[in-house]
Chains A and B, each alone.
Chain A
């Protein structure tokens, strides 16, 4: 399992432990079966099939990249089984057999843009890894910019795992944007921030808004390379709710005091609770019954209140913009005030009309 997938699994196991300690669901303990997708999409599909067909599990929590979800989607739809997908993603999807507990674009990308606009950043440069999420995100960003009098000075993609960013940094510097919107993935972020920093670009002159950099990644990038930069998520380890204090404490107690919590982990942790709540409501683990019961389920979670939208099976989430601190934690500097209704197809945004 790749880096972050492991910690999401850890968070989900913590939730299962907690629920079991409190008596389980419908008087039964939840028994986890763990399979490793090995960061390989077809393997995700294979393992999903195994869990459903052979292990006959009640539901599946997991998936990481968009590609892993797209690979598993037909498996769940054709076998009428349930997947809980815990990662922020590019939207434009609403499978009847998937619950999306991470943010869709209007809960992460759009608030990120709102924040930049509010701060007077009118000229943006888009940097992303070459795959579905960044390309879709950037399409949305361009539509948003066009409608809001913002200017896109450049749009650059690099192959996954790319580590040579001097040319790209040169292009960014030459374009002189007010801010950079960063959808790079994984290790590329390390190289990008290191090389941006050593080129003398600071967060004060040209902030970088990242949507795939969470607490776990900060250390690998090097705190001094990213301190002061912006990120957009729905949850930080520092988010100030009683549920989060409990979550962070429990996670550290179980996995070690040096561990951090992050948005995808929290979304995975939530997913287990949301499912358990829906099962209680339905009185059964039957997929169709759970789906029906899940609509409108509301829980107070570490990120604040979350509610399942029965129409698109996404979750109402509060958007939060944060700044990376010198200690590696992320401090919230802005939030949407209340949970945002998920809108994976951006139907309620007039500027997004031409997108789908």
Chain B
């Protein structure tokens, strides 16, 4: 019985991980329609940043990883992706190529084996079934969501971002520099992947293939949540986290993955555009 109850916080903490890895995608995918398969490798870059900075301090790694992954995203956007707007499926293949290159680069830079990232001592221990590091990840997820919300709704730059998200053409004609907004969006979206990477060092392996373990799940969260929808992403991540937690508890890890997939297909029958949709009258 205790096990069943324990699955609730576990589900929420799985949801928090899903949310962190998917949050950035809701912007790059949701706002810009870019299917960034290299998002997983930005997570990896964040994790390696934590590895390199572990002597300096874990908390320092968070902003640093945000910066590193964000700049990588910015470079990717400037160099390649901006030539691909309006061709979302092409961005998928393009960024897959980028992700292969980044994986091999990590292998050459840090070696093929996983590297050791020692969790900070203040994250040892826990409350009930949830270790402090899980609570930390949940707090980080909440903080990221609040920060993003505040940014979108309380700053001029964020308002411009929302405007572009809702109607790019109209935003452009009202004098918003959409190219610039795209850069900022990509920087933030990729930076969030970096933060997720730091968090993942607490619970998983840190190696060149790190990103590949999370990328499909991240996209499923975005699909279920609806494009560019903060609240959609939050609810979808928590829902999938709980579903995963209980499905695995009552069956096994393999079956849980299949159940989650079937659930998403079923869910899309009810809501083909995900939980929340931006209404639009345009004939796409």
- A–B contact at 8 Å CB threshold (below): yes
Q: Is the interface of A mostly helix, strand, loop or mixed?
A: helix
Asked if A219 and B115 sit within 8 Å, CB to CB, the answer is yes
Could you tell me the distance between the alpha carbons of A330 and B114 in the complex, rounded to whole angstroms?
18
Q: Nearest CB to that of A198 among chain B residues? A: B131
| B13 / chain A contacts, CB cutoff of 8 Å | 166
| A273 / chain B contacts, CB cutoff of 8 Å | none
B236 part of interface (Cβ distance < 8 Å): no
CB distance from A62 to the nearest CB of B (A): 17
CB distance from B255 to the nearest CB of A (A): 10
Asked if B126 and A199 sit within 8 Å, CB to CB, the answer is yes
* Given A6-B112, A170-B3: A157 touches B252 (CB 8 Å cut-off): yes
| B257 / chain A contacts, CB cutoff of 8 Å | 159
CB distance from A166 to the nearest CB of B (A): 5
B265 part of interface (Cβ distance < 8 Å): no
B167 part of interface (Cβ distance < 8 Å): no
CB distance from B1 to the nearest CB of A (A): 9
- Residues A1-15 near B (CB distance < 8 A): 1-3, 6
CB distance from B89 to the nearest CB of A (A): 26
| A223 / chain B contacts, CB cutoff of 8 Å | 116
B14 part of interface (Cβ distance < 8 Å): yes
- Residues B82-116 near A (CB distance < 8 A): 112-116
A341 part of interface (Cβ distance < 8 Å): no
CB distance from A64 to the nearest CB of B (A): 13
Asked if A163 and B249 sit within 8 Å, CB to CB, the answer is no
Asked if A198 and B133 sit within 8 Å, CB to CB, the answer is yes
Among B3, B17, B203, point to the contact of A174 (Cβ < 8 A).
B3
CB distance from B185 to the nearest CB of A (A): 28
A164 part of interface (Cβ distance < 8 Å): yes
| B114 / chain A contacts, CB cutoff of 8 Å | 3, 187, 190, 217, 219-221
| B125 / chain A contacts, CB cutoff of 8 Å | 200
A288 part of interface (Cβ distance < 8 Å): no
User: A222-246 toward B: CB 8 Å interface, digit per residue (1/0)?
Assistant: 1110000000000000000000000
B158 part of interface (Cβ distance < 8 Å): no
Among B2, B17, B249, point to the contact of A167 (Cβ < 8 A).
B249
Asked if A167 and B112 sit within 8 Å, CB to CB, the answer is no
Q: Nearest CB to that of A7 among chain B residues? A: B113
| B253 / chain A contacts, CB cutoff of 8 Å | 130, 156-159, 162, 164, 167-168
| B248 / chain A contacts, CB cutoff of 8 Å | 167-168
Asked if B134 and A166 sit within 8 Å, CB to CB, the answer is yes
Asked if B6 and A187 sit within 8 Å, CB to CB, the answer is no
A352 part of interface (Cβ distance < 8 Å): no
Q: Nearest CB to that of A328 among chain B residues? A: B116
Among B30-38, B187-195, B205-213, B273-281, the one that faces the other chain is: B205-213
CB distance from A213 to the nearest CB of B (A): 12
Q: Nearest CB to that of A200 among chain B residues? A: B126
User: A268-285 toward B: CB 8 Å interface, digit per residue (1/0)?
Assistant: 000000000000000000
| A221 / chain B contacts, CB cutoff of 8 Å | 114, 116
B117 part of interface (Cβ distance < 8 Å): yes
B254 part of interface (Cβ distance < 8 Å): yes
User: B238-259 toward A: CB 8 Å interface, digit per residue (1/0)?
Assistant: 0000001100110011100100
Could you tell me the distance between the alpha carbons of A195 and B130 in the complex, rounded to whole angstroms?
10
A171 part of interface (Cβ distance < 8 Å): yes
Chain B CB count within 10 A is highest, among A162, A166, A195, A219, for: A166
Among A3, A161, A164, A166, point to the contact of B113 (Cβ < 8 A).
A3
| A174 / chain B contacts, CB cutoff of 8 Å | 2-3, 6
Q: Nearest CB to that of A190 among chain B residues? A: B205
| A6 / chain B contacts, CB cutoff of 8 Å | 112
| B123 / chain A contacts, CB cutoff of 8 Å | 198
Asked if A220 and B213 sit within 8 Å, CB to CB, the answer is no
Asked if B124 and A157 sit within 8 Å, CB to CB, the answer is no
| B17 / chain A contacts, CB cutoff of 8 Å | 164
Could you tell me the distance between the alpha carbons of A190 and B200 in the complex, rounded to whole angstroms?
11
A331 part of interface (Cβ distance < 8 Å): no
User: A183-209 toward B: CB 8 Å interface, digit per residue (1/0)?
Assistant: 000010011001100111000000000
* Given A167-B248, A219-B114: A199 touches B129 (CB 8 Å cut-off): yes
| B207 / chain A contacts, CB cutoff of 8 Å | 3, 187, 190, 220
Could you tell me the distance between the alpha carbons of A168 and B114 in the complex, rounded to whole angstroms?
22
Among A159, A163, A167, A220, point to the contact of B245 (Cβ < 8 A).
A167
| A2 / chain B contacts, CB cutoff of 8 Å | 112
CB distance from B71 to the nearest CB of A (A): 26
Asked if B204 and A220 sit within 8 Å, CB to CB, the answer is no
Among A156, A161, A199, A222, point to the contact of B213 (Cβ < 8 A).
A161
Among A1, A171, A219, point to the contact of B249 (Cβ < 8 A).
A171
Q: Nearest CB to that of A175 among chain B residues? A: B3
- The 7 tightest CB contacts between A and B, nearest first, are A220-B114, A190-B205, A198-B131, A158-B253, A174-B3, A187-B205, A163-B204
A-B contact pairs, 10 of them (CB 8 A): A162-B253, A164-B17, A166-B14, A168-B253, A190-B207, A191-B205, A198-B123, A198-B124, A198-B202, A223-B116
Query: Told that A161-B212, A161-B213 touch, could you supply 4 new A-B pairs with CB distance under 8 A?
Result: A163-B203, A163-B204, A167-B10, A219-B116
